[in-house]
Amino acid sequence: MLRTHTCGELNISHLGQTVTLCGWVQKSRDLGAMTFIDVRDRYGLTQLVFNTDSDDSLRETSRSLGREFVIQVTGAVLERTSKNAKMSTGEIEIGVSKIEVLNGAKVPPFMIEDETDGGEELRAKYRYLDLRRNPIRNNLMLRHKMAQEVRKYLDGLDFIEVETPVLIKSTPEGARDFVVPSRMNPGEFYALPQSPQTFKQLLMVSGFDRYFQIVKCFRDEDLRADRQPEFTQIDCEMAFITQEDILNVFEGLTQHLFRTVKGIELGSVPRMQYADAMRLYGSDKPDIRFGMQFVELNDIVKGKGFSIFDNAELVVGINAKGCAEYTRKQIDELTEWLKRPQIGVTGMIYCRYQSDGTLKSSVDKFYGEDDLTNWAAAFEAEPGDMMFVLAGNAEKVRKQLNELRLEMGNRLGLRDKNTFAPLWVLDFPLLEWDEETSRYHAMHHPFTSPKPEDIALLDTNPGEVRANAYDLVINGTEVGGGSIRIHDRALQSLMFKHLGFTPEEAQKQFGFLMDAFEYGAPPHGGLAFGFDRMVSIFAGLDSIRDVIAFPKNNSGRDVMIDTPSTISDLQMNELKIKTTV
């Protein structure tokens, strides 16, 4: 080894030892008689000292070092005169007797510090330098630790990790596929998997019993800060189980991760029906770190001559505790925020429960003291609270009120990143209506089983059919989702029929799976966690980018390696393709 120790491990117990360290120059202070240099590696920082006893060439070298130079130093471990209790190595320093510059460094385009001065584009281009910064490195070490713990937990429960193929078949269902032209089969293409769904089901048919994989998946979708064309799933499947078994196993995994990685005892995960989540939070992924549940007011506000409420399908509001003192300006600003096109509220009604016990609303013309007292009772409001009310189409107004609730949660400091509130959301609808294509789509995917008691509704009222489907939500973010699958050919065919497939189309795309169901398919089900998302929640980050070593930007580009890029005519000729740009 080029070193005897890392830059993070020396302390007072090593006094007097001669050691050799390697690392990067973090900073350097030349005090005339002495030069101090902090040398950094993945494990920590150690202070080096070059004093007047050092020979001339050593002093010269020490003064010539720039930031990020790579050095190897040998010297004695000395006790510091001024100790730094914040550093694990803060009690010692190395009196350098020998130094070698292993590599020089140009001045980095941004500061390699926890808080850097580099913009996003610059840091993306020099990602290898951005990765030197502690926060980013810590995210990736957290990710590694989480992956190890996932494997430990699942291996301990007899799950087997099986690698499924990356070059698979393009299917029209779901998001857009990335495709790969086949040179050996000209005119034909592979697709990259959006998930290993059908393969893991086949592994259940094969009797693997318990499967998992931490696996890259791919979706060619337009990107947001929160999406990447390639992302990682913790993909799991079990046979001979009920939904209850799956919830228990993966609640256990979640608890295990919080315990081993963050030292948090999570406790048992509460459960909520999809229908209740929509009614009480206007979202299938409620953030239950705080209450502020929706209160429906139709019964008490209608028929008082206020046409907006009278004509609305739903009048619904939230109680913003302690916000009665909001100024007119604050309310106007909030209303403007709600009127932005992405939310689209046309107007908001409010009612203050003033500290003197009186009630004051923006619709006092229509609602008297008695009415507002009824409102306050419905909201379980107290003096000092503020009630915000929206009205309109039920589905739309719930979505809007969800936005308002989350925003008020932010403003009131109710969404602490160090508080973790997991939730199972259960009994999702099987199908959802798609206006654009005028047909039902599978809400999860076509392999999700309907609740047996709802199958009869498939013909009469497809939108009402509930699925054996569940999501794990943490702090308002969906981190995992899954279902009990169909394991019967007839039911799977029926499902494809309701999704608008002809029998021929279904056979062509998914015949292998339906055939497999005829050779002894066990009852099975599973779940997939979004691993990037899970790590970002553990790291307290909003975006998944900083938990991915080499992410792509919003145009799907890696600006560091400059890809995608053109390929040669020779390559295209071999693949028998042409671009039509």
Tell which positions 438-497 bind a second copy, by CB under 8 A.
Answer: 487-488
Of the candidate residues 205, 390, 401, 537, the single one contacting a second copy (CB under 8 A):
205
Rounded to whole angstroms, how far apart are CA atoms 293 and 296?
10
CA proximity to 146, closest of 575, 447, 529: 529
The interface with a second copy within residues 114-143 (CB under 8 A) comprises 126-129, 131-132, 137, 140-141, 143
How far is it, in rounded angstroms, from Cα 67 to Cα 37? 10
At closest approach, how far in Å is the CB of 18 from a second copy?
Answer: 18
Q: Is the dihedral of CA 251, 253, 256, 262 positive or negative?
A: negative
3-class SS of residue 29:
strand
Q: Nearest distance from residue 528's CB to a second copy, in Å? A: 16
> Closer to a second copy at the Cβ: 76 or 180?
180
The residue range among 47-55, 68-76, 262-270, 314-322 that interacts with a second copy, by the rule CB under 8 A, is 68-76
137 is in an annotated binding site: no
Q: Is 509 annotated as a binding residue?
A: no
| 278 vs 516, beta carbon nearer a second copy | 516
The CA-atom distances, in angstroms, between 414 and each of 266, 288, 292, 322, 391 are: 18, 10, 10, 13, 25
Which one of the spans 324-332, 334-342, 436-444, 569-577 is the region binding a second copy (CB under 8 A)? 569-577
- Whether 317 and 390 have beta carbons less than 8 Å apart is answered as yes
Residue 256 annotated as part of some ligand binding site: no
Query: Which C-beta is closer to a second copy: that of 68 or that of 93?
Result: 68
DSSP state of 17: -
How many residues touch a second copy under the rule CB under 8 A: the total is 124
* Contact range with a second copy by CB under 8 A, out of 224-232, 295-303, 376-384, 536-544: 224-232
Shortest spacing between CB 222 and a second copy, in angstroms: 7
Per CB under 8 A, does 418 bind a second copy?
no
Residue 9 engages a second copy in binding (rule: CB under 8 A): no
For a second copy, the binding residues in 319-358 under the rule CB under 8 A are none
3-state SS string for 382-393 = CCCCEEEEEEEC
Which residue's CB is nearer to a second copy, number 41 or number 287?
41
- Cα–Cα distance measured from residue 298 to residue 313, given in angstroms and rounded to the nearest whole number: 8
Give the footprint of a second copy on residues 528-557 (CB under 8 A): 548-550, 552, 555-557
Six-digit token string for 502 = 């002809």
| Residue 70 near residue 103, CB atoms below 8 Å | yes
User: What does residue 355 show for φ and ψ, rounded to 5 degrees?
Assistant: -65, -20
Instruction: Write the CB contacts of 409 (distance below 8 Å, at least 6 apart in sequence).
Output: 287, 289, 290, 292, 415
E-only strand ranges, 108-229: 160-161, 179-181, 189-191, 210-218
Taking the least distance from each CB to a second copy, the nearer of 516 and 537 is 516
The annotation status of 369 as a binding-site residue, yes or no, is: no
Contact letters for a second copy, residues 71-100 (x by CB under 8 A) = -x----------------------------
| Cβ pair 37, 45 in contact under 8 A | no
One-letter amino acid for residue 245 of the chain: D
* Whether the Cβ atoms of residue 429 and residue 465 lie closer than 8 Å to each other: yes
Which of these, 528, 540, 471, lies nearest to 237 by C-alpha position?
Answer: 528
Check the annotation: does 533 bind a ligand. Answer: yes
17-46 binders of a second copy (CB under 8 A): 22-24, 40-43
Among residues 120, 369, 434, 574, which is the contact residue for a second copy, using CB under 8 A? Answer: 574
The interface with a second copy within residues 141-180 (CB under 8 A) comprises 141, 143-144, 147-148, 151, 155, 160-170, 172, 176-180
- Subset of residues 243 to 302 that bind a second copy, contact rule: CB under 8 A: 245
Name 471's bridge partners: 425, 481
Q: Which residues are annotated as a binding site for L-aspartate?
A: 173, 219, 444, 485
